[in-house]
Amino acid sequence: MKLRSDQSGIRGLPMPLWLQGAAEALQAVLISAVAALIPIAAVWFTGGFGSLQPADAARLGGQAWLLVHGVPLYLSDATQASDGGAVPSPPTVLSLVPLGFALVPFLLSWRAGRRLARASYADSLWQGLLGAAALYALAGFATAFVCSTSAISASVALAASVPLIPVGLGLMVGARREAGSWSRLIGVDAVDWISRTGQYSRWAGSYFWAVVRAGFVAAIAAFGLASALLALDLAIRWADVVTVYEALGAGGVGGGALTVAQLGYLPNLAVWSLGWSSGAGVMLGAGSKAGALATAVGPLPPIPVLAALPTSSVPVAAAAVVLPVLAGVLGGWWFQRAGEDHFGEWLSIKVPARWFSASVSAVVLGVLVGAVAGLVAAGAAWLSGGSAGIGRYAVVGPNPLSMLVWVGIEVAVGGVVGYALAPWLERGQLTAAKAEAVNA
């Protein structure tokens, strides 16, 4: 991107990288703001907000934009005093972030990071990233300052800093995608640095890096299986969901806006589904917890998707708890295929008894893979939960510590099984490949 001196097509002075970063961030801010305003404008034009003024509807869009970026909103309500005056009640926090909508600024920043990496060298990329981050922080500060009201407000400090987390992550991932490797992005030759380390250090690094990737594979598989379980449950209980829609009577536009809002929380529901299936459970308000092993839920708000909440039964619980174990089997199998079991090789040299070295290496691998997958699940639980800001729904979502323990243990068990079965599975594939080669 260059600044032109006129419209003749003659290029003028190159645009400074910090200014190009600001321009890329401005595009992301405007597009994400329009995406947040469209459903609110549709409901407002059809009279869904009653006598709400246009300025108040625009402020509501700005508050939704802040929530999408992870900024908590503070809700306050005035109570009637004995002398007739209004007494402000303590504010409640709305921090339940729609992770599906949070992908919008992330993907826009990912695009901006790619464009900035294409326009700069590794030693000057920081200028573009700094310009993009500065403008996004300014946009968050201005939005919180303008859109805060006596009923709904946001901290300007948080509004200027919290959006930089998804935006900064998108910028870095996009820049890395364009550069092709982290070494090219930061101007450091990682291969040369690794070659200067000792052989045992390289083996240890390869082993732990393979463990991290195996744990990540297991975590992704667990989320995938939980998402499939969520889709199956919605299909089975679709009649209950439709009943709630009909009882609300929101109309076409209102029902569409409600559906869009629920789609924004679909990634949250996928994480909650993993919490439900693993046994960690999902908090649905104070005193309410749903899980495959036990469910004790009080009255729920009239949200259609919550009508699909399954009730616990022995067959369903047994089948659901197996899902994270299957994900661990896939992680252990993947690790065996990676061929980086240097700990097992070292242990077999030190202890010739194969039954001992194989057992210990399998258990150690299962524990490490389970720990990685549990940490990923705990982080997802922390991101997907929060406070709905309404009454007793101040605690919603899985408990991160419970997710760490339950998912970690179940994936660890599956990792040991997958590690033990991998040679037999690979041997079967190798035999089939040889048979095909002979027949050919």
312 confidence band (pLDDT: 50, 70, 90): low
Does residue 224 belong to any structural domain of this protein? yes
Residues 181 and 216 in one domain: no
Residues 331 and 226 in one domain: yes
Q: Is the confidence at residue 428, as pLDDT, over 60? A: no
Question: How many angstroms separate the first and last alpha carbons of the chain?
Answer: 56
Q: Average pLDDT of the chain?
A: 83
- 109 touches 32 (CB < 8 A): no
- Which pLDDT belongs to residue 437? 47
- Which pLDDT belongs to residue 81? 44
Instruction: Give the 3-state secondary structure of residue 391.
Output: coil
- Which pLDDT belongs to residue 438? 47
Residues 381, 382, 387, 392, CA torsion sign = positive
Residues 160 and 309 in one domain: no
Does residue 192 belong to any structural domain of this protein? no
Of 126, 161, 186, the domain-final residue: 186
Q: Is the confidence at residue 215, as pLDDT, over 70? A: yes
d(CA 281, CA 377): 13
d(CA 370, CA 216): 10
Q: Is the confidence at residue 3, as pLDDT, over 50? A: no
Give the pair of three-digit tokens for residue 187: 């101007």
Among 87-91, 131-135, 392-396, the minimum mean pLDDT is found in 87-91
Of 122, 152, 186, the domain-final residue: 186
| Mean per-residue pLDDT, 156-161 | 95
| Mean per-residue pLDDT, 14-22 | 86
168 confidence band (pLDDT: 50, 70, 90): very high
Q: Is the confidence at residue 131, as pLDDT, over 90? A: yes
Residues 238 and 300 in one domain: yes
Residues 227 and 89 in one domain: no
Residues 123 and 167 in one domain: yes
Q: Is the confidence at residue 372, as pLDDT, over 90? A: yes
d(CA 169, CA 110): 8
The DSSP symbol for 48 reads: T
d(CA 257, CA 36): 11
| Mean per-residue pLDDT, 235-248 | 87
Residues 174 and 305 in one domain: no
Residues 180 and 204 in one domain: no
d(CA 278, CA 163): 31
Q: Is 79 left (phi over 0), alpha (psi -120 to 50) or beta?
A: beta
- Which pLDDT belongs to residue 194? 54
Does residue 2 belong to any structural domain of this protein? no
The radius of gyration of the chain's CA atoms, rounded to the nearest angstrom, is 26
Residues 272 and 126 in one domain: no
Does residue 7 belong to any structural domain of this protein? no
| Mean per-residue pLDDT, 370-393 | 90
Does residue 161 belong to any structural domain of this protein? yes
Does residue 1 belong to any structural domain of this protein? no
Give the pair of three-digit tokens for residue 56: 């108040």
| Mean per-residue pLDDT, 412-417 | 93
189 confidence band (pLDDT: 50, 70, 90): low
- 113 touches 170 (CB < 8 A): yes
| Mean per-residue pLDDT, 219-248 | 90
Burial classification of residue 235, based on how many CB atoms lie within 10 Å of its CB (0-12 exposed, 13-18 middle, 19 or more buried): exposed
Residues 83, 85, 88, 89, CA torsion sign = positive
Give the pair of three-digit tokens for residue 388: 């709905």
Does residue 253 belong to any structural domain of this protein? yes
d(CA 414, CA 208): 18
Residues 228 and 291 in one domain: yes
Query: How many domains does one find in the chain?
Result: 2
Interval 59-113: pLDDT, tens = 999 999 999 999 999 988 644 444 555 555 567 888 999 999 999 999 999 999 9
Residues 131 and 43 in one domain: yes
- 416 touches 326 (CB < 8 A): no
Show the domain range for 26: 12-186
CA atoms within 13 A on the CB side of 177: 15
Residues 139 and 221 in one domain: no
d(CA 301, CA 423): 51
Of 153, 186, 219, the domain-final residue: 186
| Mean per-residue pLDDT, 178-185 | 71
Does residue 375 belong to any structural domain of this protein? yes
